[in-house]
Amino acid sequence: MNEIRVRFAPSPTGFLHVGGARTAIFNWLYARNKNGKFLLRIEDTDPERSKSELSEQIIRSMNWLGMIADEPIVYQALNIERHKQVALMLLESGNAYRAFETAEELEEQRKIAQRNKVPFKYNRASLNLPEVTIKKYLAEGRPYAVRFRVPEGITEFDDIVHGKTSFKNSDIDDFVIMRSDGSPVYMIAVVVDDYDMKISHIIRGDDHLSNTPKQILMYRALGWNVPEFAHLPMILDEEKKKLSKRRNPVSTEEYKDKGYLPEALFNFLTLLGFAPENNAEVVSKEELIKLFTFERVNKKSAVFDMKKLNWINSEYIRNTDTNELIVIAKGSKYLAENGIDLSKFTDVYISSVIMLMKERLNTLNDLYDFGEYFFKDPENYDEKGIVKYWVAEIKPLFREFSKELENFKHWSLLELEEKLRIFAENRQIKAAQLIHLLRLSVTGKTVSPGIFEVIEIMGKDSTNRRIYNFLQKN
């Protein structure tokens, strides 16, 4: 069998959309599963909308997800001359023709179609122009586009996901392959590049399904082997609408910034449209490579379920080595934006915080959202907590207890707890009354992991400084 060669072909007109990332993942998994090649082609032929920063961002996001092209990245814009050459080949062989209509004339045709409530289809007025007229127009320097001549009949293919798929050629417009300014369009560029890159399988979103018959017709007209096609289901949001950035983040990089682990996002995106045989939900990349098969790819759209992503991510956080999490946390944009500079803390400290918090984290950003106080002294104290716990009869006792803490030598979880309980017992108050205040003064909050664990990690100086500040302010 020939080598399996697949490609992911994003247009750098935006960041890497999670839907695009999912397409890339299916290509990548298929290539790895079949010992084939995974290639990346940046489709940057639109000079106005393509941005090199966006190409870089896409590549960065791909790298972050662990998908690196097996051959040098192809930049489509560098192949424009070749695309033109092939367009001219189609022109010469009579599979394409010059269409001399002006933009205004086409607009007029479009309006008529609209008025008649039928889909616009180019009326082929230029198809049968006599040779002399063509010569005359060319001599006059009239601009023309090159249109592909769609033959009669039916175009059928066996889509790996959808099965037999057929299109009536009469529904297909004689589409433009080269604009009047001489620039080739996507439809031909993609065919030429896929052919030149020896792509065996084109795996892409369902939104490209209607392009496929046009592309197959071009392969045939050129006498080239038609690759296999697999069209992947679309991804919808929980309201069954197209994923939209108004409702969910859609940029892969944004998930990174929000504290998702790349392996978790990879796992989650793979399950959008693919279910491994055992229906497992937390599946490593290595396993996914082994299990991946188009037989278990859904035809129907998949729903992007944020809760499931959070759950998968929390599972990965729990199972990721703390040292690795430290490295990721140190590079976190979110922590930096919130004024947390982890380089000021020792790895031992950060590691103790992460180990204590691990069970509660959905994302690494929760390290800040739930545990900000480990890295910053509280500036404010939960108001309800103050009203509820900072009450007259306890105030002097808490002050007294804080003095004891300052002089306490055995700063360890068990001894701290024992000390507090004995103190409470002697004063005939509930330990909880002191515990609430200890938590409030040290964290500013009314909820946290076990407070003795918290202050054991924070250490004596930091704890006492916080209590001192609390007493000054309240």
Q: Which residues bind ligand GLU (CB under 6 A)?
A: 9-11, 43, 190, 204, 208
Residue 261 contacts residue 255 (beta carbons within 8 Å): no
Going by C-beta distance under 8 Å and a sequence separation of 6 or more, which residues neighbour residue 245?
Answer: 251
Burial (CB < 10 A; 0-12, 13-18, 19+), residue 25, is: buried
What is the DSSP code string of 205-222? EGGGGGGHHHHHHHHHHH
Q: How far is the CB of 189 from ligand GLU (least distance, A)?
A: 9
Closer of 208 and 460 to ligand GLU (Cβ) = 208
Q: How far is the CB of 113 from ligand GLU (least distance, A)?
A: 26
Closer of 61 and 362 to ligand GLU (Cβ) = 61
Q: How far is the CB of 208 from ligand GLU (least distance, A)?
A: 5
Residue 153 Rama label (left phi>0; alpha psi -120 to 50; beta):
left
How are beta strands 201-205 and 228-232 bridged, if at all?
Answer: parallel
H or E segment to which residue 96 belongs = strand 96-99
How far is CA 396 from its chain centroid?
A: 54
Closer of 9 and 216 to ligand GLU (Cβ) = 9
Residues labelled catalytic: 245
Closer of 208 and 360 to ligand GLU (Cβ) = 208
Closer of 22 and 258 to ligand GLU (Cβ) = 22
Closer of 204 and 436 to ligand GLU (Cβ) = 204
Residue 166 contacts residue 191 (beta carbons within 8 Å): no
**Which value, to the nearest 10 degrees, does the dihedral of the CA atoms of residues 173, 179, 185, 191 take?**
70
Closer of 13 and 412 to ligand GLU (Cβ) = 13
Q: How far is the CB of 187 from ligand GLU (least distance, A)?
A: 10
Closer of 25 and 309 to ligand GLU (Cβ) = 25
**Which value, to the nearest 10 degrees, does the dihedral of the CA atoms of residues 41, 11, 328, 288 take?**
-60
HSE-CB for 205 with a 13 A CA cutoff: 17
What CA–CA distance (Å, rounded) separates 291 from 270?
11
What CA–CA distance (Å, rounded) separates 133 from 216?
31
What CA–CA distance (Å, rounded) separates 17 from 244?
10
Kindly calculate the radius of gyration of the chain based on its CA atoms and give it in whole angstroms. 32
What CA–CA distance (Å, rounded) separates 342 from 380?
22
What CA–CA distance (Å, rounded) separates 423 from 404?
9
Q: How far is the CB of 50 from ligand GLU (least distance, A)?
A: 10
**The dihedral sign for the CA sequence 128, 132, 138, 143:** negative
Q: How far is the CB of 186 from ligand GLU (least distance, A)?
A: 7
Residue 117 Rama label (left phi>0; alpha psi -120 to 50; beta):
left
